[in-house]
Amino acid sequence: MNSSKDKILRALREKSWVSGQELADIAGISRTAVWKHIKSFQKQGYHIKSVTGRGYLLEAATDDLLPQEIRAGLQTRILGSRIEHFQELDSTQEMARKRAHEGVIEGYTVLAEKQSQGRGRLNRKWESLPGSLALSVVLRPRIPLFKAFQIPILSGVALARSIRETTGIKAGLKWPNDILINRKKAGGILSEVSAETERVDYVSIGIGLNINCPIESIPAEIRGRTTSLSAAAGLNISRVKLVQRFLKDLENLYLMYLHEGFPPIRTGWKELDTTLGNTVEVQFSDRLEEGKAEDIDEHGALIIRTQSGATIAVRAGDVTIKSVTGN
């Protein structure tokens, strides 16, 4: 994208004070049009100083996850090919579904500062905390439906990696979809699939991550088992940089997965896993099983060994860690 708005923002980022005339020349528009753009940037949350005779100075970019902020410096080919941002949505998953049905391009990404109906798996509620991330991405992998459960697994590996790379926080993974820091949940992944005759049409991957969320903003019912990146690291984190890194890591893993299948994802998962070695309880739709989490198999299923010595490959289910013996 190279709109006059993008050109003005780029010039403001690269220079210190820049005059209205200079911006008008760079963007190929009138000085009045420049002034209108500056007003709209200020409305979006950019701190731009304006002084007669000197021009404009970008003091600080907004922390909102605006498309132009994410695009500036985004190193992807597919992910973020189209980006939409909303101050409030019911759920980014709903918007992703709507766009996917309209035929949106693969890599479409939608972000919301706040969700009124954020959801987890099995229609559980996902709390939208101030300073958090709510993002959904549409992918169109040519894979059979029975492999679709591998997509949230690979997304978890990408998310934990990108947190580690941008913040240094030792984020870990709990099978199948939780991001944990010091054994507390900081994020979750919800993957929803649409398929026709056993082939995937699209997958929407929803990411909820507590980034700059003060502990007091976490509802009391979940506070004991929930954390945020800022609470764990004691610092404020650039949400834009984290999203850019996540989209890049997700794209790399996704392309690797399409070419090489699940093995490299399995290896990546095992480096970040916090489930294996522990005694776990698995809630299936119809029963509860307890056993030792032994492995993630070559398809991405969690292998548990029950007391009777039988092994079960779990492809979908809720896992609770009962006793910790591993890392």
What residues line the site for ligand BT5 (CB under 6 A)? Answer: 91-93, 115, 118-121, 124, 126-127, 129, 134-136, 177, 185, 188-190, 206-208, 210, 222, 226
CB nearer to ligand BT5: give 136 or 275: 136
Taking the complex as a whole, the smallest distance from the CB of residue 97 to ligand BT5 amounts, in Å, to: 10
Minimum distance of ligand BT5 from residue 211's CB (angstroms):
11
140 burial (CB, 10 Å; 0-12 / 13-18 / 19+) is middle
* Closer residue to ligand BT5, CB minimum distance, 46 or 94: 94
The least CB distance from residue 241 to ligand BT5, in Å, is 19
Least gap, CB of 268 to ligand BT5 (angstroms): 20
Tell me the residue number closest to ligand BT5, measured at CB: 188
d(CA 16, CA 61): 13
Question: In 3D, which of 69, 77, 108, 78 has the Cα closest to residue 206?
Answer: 108
* Dihedral sign, Cα of residue 49, residue 28, residue 110, residue 211: negative
CB proximity list for 219: less than 8 A, separation 6 or greater = 127
CB-wise, 55 or 152, nearer to ligand BT5?
152
Q: Is the dihedral of CA 123, 128, 132, 133 positive or negative?
A: positive
Between 126 and 269, CB nearer to ligand BT5: 126
Identify the sign of the CA torsion 206, 209, 212, 214: positive
DSSP 141: -
Least distance CB 184 / ligand BT5 (angstroms): 8
Nearer to ligand BT5, 120 or 277 (CB): 120
| Cβ 318 to ligand BT5 shortest distance, Å | 7
- Give the nearer residue to ligand BT5 in terms of CB position, either 91 or 275: 91
Strands (E), 15-153: 47-51, 55-60, 83-89, 109-115, 133-139
Gap between the Cα atoms of 19 and 31, Å rounded: 10
Parallel, antiparallel, or unpaired: how do β-strands 83-89 and 109-115 relate?
parallel
**Shortest Cβ 258–ligand BT5 spacing (Å):** 23
